[in-house]
Structure 1
Amino acid sequence: MATTDTHSEIEEYLGQVPSWMGEISEPATDHSWGIMRDLLLGETELSGREKALVGLGAAAAIQCPYCTYFHQEEAKLAGVNDVELTEAINVSGTTRYFSTVLHGARVDEDQFADEMGEVFEHLENQQAAAAGDD
């Protein structure tokens, strides 16, 4: 279990020390809390809303019911509505789908990067042209 100071800090942040945190091996307990506190709960370059959506997408992709529940509730707390939750999950599923296709077909990574570079250059040009039409 976490040190007394860490235990108190977790309780202050979360209102309790969730029982699952007792499953983290002793050498990593304080460090694991620090990662959760600083990266997930702390102020970072990403907003809480953005982090919740990223977390939800990853949780859905790895099919973790615990993480999916956590990040869905986190997203709702950050003001994400049901339509946005559904879209985030769909984006995650789409990424997983195409990743499966790319890996299964053993698409050459260099060729993929070159082609996608051209695609994004084209998209940037389209955006610039559309912005000029305003």
Structure 2
Amino acid sequence: MVSNETADEIQEYLGVVPSWIEALPDSAADHSWSVVRDLQLGETELTRREKALVAVGAGAAIQCPYCIHFHREEAKLEEVTEAELAEAFAVAGTVRNFSTVLHGAEIDHEEFEAETESIVDHINEQQAAAPGDD
């Protein structure tokens, strides 16, 4: 259970103290809210819109109906369109799909990193040579 001070703060931010906060053990409740407040709701390097898209994609990838519902609603608050949500789900699905392939095929991690570095170098070279970038 969260402290009274934290409960008041959550009430101010969200209008309610969600049941999932109440389900946390005392030793983690206040800290867990701090993470949500500072990382998800706070001003960070990512915009709230970007964080909502990351979160809804991650929720879909881990197949969490709670995360999908909450972060879809969060995305709507940030005016994310249905087309953008569909793309976020597709990107998350692609990452999950290829993670399965990479792990199942037991692709050598060092070789994968070297190939990725080569790909990045190639793309950087292409972008540097692209006309009209002056």
Q: Give the TM-score range, shorter chain.
A: over 0.9
What corresponds to 2:127 in structure 1?
127
What corresponds to 1:54 in structure 2?
54
Structure 1 window deviating more from structure 2 (121-130 vs 110-119): it is 121-130
Deviations 1:105-129 (A, max 9, x none): 0000000010111111111112222
What corresponds to 1:103 in structure 2?
103
**Is residue 2:110 matched to residue 1:90?**
no
Report the TM-score when normalising by structure 1. Answer: 0.95
What corresponds to 1:5 in structure 2?
5
What corresponds to 1:28 in structure 2?
28
**Matched residues, number:** 133
Question: In proportion to residue count, which structure has more helix?
Answer: 1
CA distance in 2, matches of 1:5, 1:105: 51
In structure 2, what residue type is equivalent to 1:35? V
Deviations 1:61-100 (A, max 9, x none): 1100000111111111112111000000000000000000
Task: State the Cα distance separating 1:21 from its structure 2 match.
Answer: 1.6
In structure 2, what residue type is equivalent to 1:4? N
Structure 1 window deviating more from structure 2 (13-22 vs 81-90): it is 13-22
**Is residue 2:80 matched to residue 1:80?**
yes
CA distance in 1, matches of 2:79, 2:71: 12
What corresponds to 2:66 in structure 1?
66
Query: Which ranges of structure 2 fall in alignment gaps of 5 or more residues?
Result: none
Identity %: 57
CA distance in 2, matches of 1:15, 1:39: 19
CA distance in 2, matches of 1:40, 1:92: 19
